[in-house]
Structure 1
């Protein structure tokens, strides 16, 4: 089955046409590494976030559609989940917690979701304070580390005002040999093959490129500072 056929199967298995029922159907399947599960979770949270921050939802839907590379013939499936999320009375927090439970223990997957949400939030080219606060709350609902959040943020807004050690998730006094090992592990985790293996749709693997660029920039900055010391 294609990604879109699996998404359709999940939608059809829901007990009724509500976002709550669709999310429950995902949890019942427990197919964490299915790209369709990742996709529906991402679509739902994108819509809930767009509704919560008060920014024009159509612009954000267009941004999601474009970076997700939705085939025209399949857009109605994405639109259905997106509209269910907008119509649902529950706030984004309850769904963020549900997604956090769905991928519990898989911080890398939740970091992938957060990265995509940053992209949607910046559909207008600006990360508004309210959007940043909302993303912080989603991070807390996911239960992921501050290092993950700062790494994703740096990928979208730059490293200029952030601590490169925090972006790498290492202590300032970490020995250089251990720092190099930690960097290599990060590079391995954010490789496109690793993302595909954990259920990220192939259409979204490109998100690894700008995140890896932020990791590389932070590492190079730390190493330059150490060499100059």
Structure 2
């Protein structure tokens, strides 16, 4: 059964008047966590789209790059998106419920933030409202500012990407310590590890993007330090 079929089942369980918040309460354990993760990305993407007031074709394409959607599943994905856009509940309430759903598992919440960054940058324009939205979501998730900055450095470089910022380390940190940090990030970014946290198989592209970013950052740092 595809992730979208499972999402359809979850949506059909909602009674009249219930919103997506009720789903977040019910999806705290496997295999429901992967359904909850996908719904959370769609729901927060819908709220983020309201933040900058525009849903572009690029953002839709970006979502498809994170989650494979077959033509027959498009209506179910659209239903989740529309439910979130129409829901009277604000994004802050969503974020709090999602944090509870994942029991403050920062690895999974970080995976979710990556999906949101990917979609926000899809049109090549990082709107100030999107930046404020994502920063506030990270705060509600309980994410340390340093970790948020590392994420932001990967997706929203102000000029040249800072490899130290990408790895979340300081430039004056000894190279062996940076290497240990990089290796831990590589282990944490393995697709199997991410799927075990709740990332659905359809979303492993996030793992591929993260692995490429952190490996490139390490290569740049090691080249500088050994030059």
TM-score category of the 2 structures, normalised to the smaller one: 0.7 to 0.9
Relative distance call for 1:111 and 1:29 in structure 2 (3 A) is: closer
Q: Say if 2:167 and 2:182, in contact at 8 Å, map to a contact too.
A: yes
Equivalent residue for 2:7?
7
- Name the SS of the counterpart of 2:113 in structure 1: helix
Matched residues, number:
226
Tell me by how many angstroms 1:7 deviates: 0.9
Q: How far apart in 1 are the matches of 2:173 and 2:158?
A: 20
Equivalent residue for 1:89?
88
Equivalent residue for 1:31?
29
- 1:27-76: CA deviations, max 9, x gaps? 13422553211111111111011012212366634542454221111111
Q: Say if 1:152 and 1:211, in contact at 8 Å, map to a contact too.
A: no
TM-score, with length taken from structure 2: 0.87
In the TM superposition, 1:65-104 aligns within 5 A as 65=64, 67-104=66-103
Q: How far apart in 1 are the matches of 2:60 and 2:97?
A: 22
Tell me by how many angstroms 1:95 deviates: 0.8
- 1:194-219: CA deviations, max 9, x gaps? 11221212221112222222212322
Equivalent residue for 1:144?
143
Tell me by how many angstroms 1:150 deviates: 3.0
Q: Say if 2:164 and 2:171, in contact at 8 Å, map to a contact too.
A: yes
Equivalent residue for 1:45?
44
Tell me by how many angstroms 1:25 deviates: 2.8
TM-score, with length taken from structure 1: 0.86
Equivalent residue for 1:205?
204
Q: Say if 2:41 and 2:112, in contact at 8 Å, map to a contact too.
A: yes
Q: Say if 1:155 and 1:210, in contact at 8 Å, map to a contact too.
A: no
Q: How far apart in 2 are the matches of 1:63 and 1:18?
A: 29
Stretches of structure 1 lacking an aligned partner (at least 5 in a row): none
Q: How far apart in 2 are the matches of 1:59 and 1:18?
A: 31
- Name the SS of the counterpart of 2:104 in structure 1: coil
Q: Say if 1:53 and 1:134, in contact at 8 Å, map to a contact too.
A: no
